[in-house]
Structure 1
Amino acid sequence: MTIVVNCRTMIDDLRNEIWPTQMTAPPKEGDIVRSNSGKELKVVTLTHCQKRQQNPYSSPYHVGVNEPYLEIYLGR
């Protein structure tokens, strides 16, 4: 099972790095996350979120499905 994540950072020179979009386990504050190019940052905050996915082929009255994900803010 994989966990969908959205990694963000406010560090200007690392904003364009490609960070993971899935993880095998939920991270904890202080864990290290590595970008595709090898840059590493720590998990500063972690927020449990959900987004509604709408099936484009379903009825317009169909509400959709909530999909959970983790919003992860990275810092030094």
Structure 2
Amino acid sequence: MEELEFENRKKKIEAFKNELKALMSKYNFGKHEMDNYNGMEEYCGTDYYFTVDGETWYGETIAEILDEVVGSH
């Protein structure tokens, strides 16, 4: 039974990715990565932003947008 549930979730994930890809294409969205460093030039992580019509949207990270869309349960 667990294997069937796993396969069903996997199919939903693949369907979601296909729909998201089509939606991103429809609105001409892409992705931009920006590494962050502290004052000592030590790596602190990477932020991911959407691009819209080739321009990076720095107003919100992709994670912030997902948090707003999905919300907390």
Normalised to the residue count of structure 1, the TM-score between the two structures is: 0.27
Q: Which has the higher strand share?
A: 1
Q: Which has the higher helix share?
A: 2
Highest relative contact order (Cα 8 Å, sep 6+), 1 or 2? 1
Find the structure with the greater CA-based Rg: 2
Normalised to the residue count of structure 2, the TM-score between the two structures is: 0.27
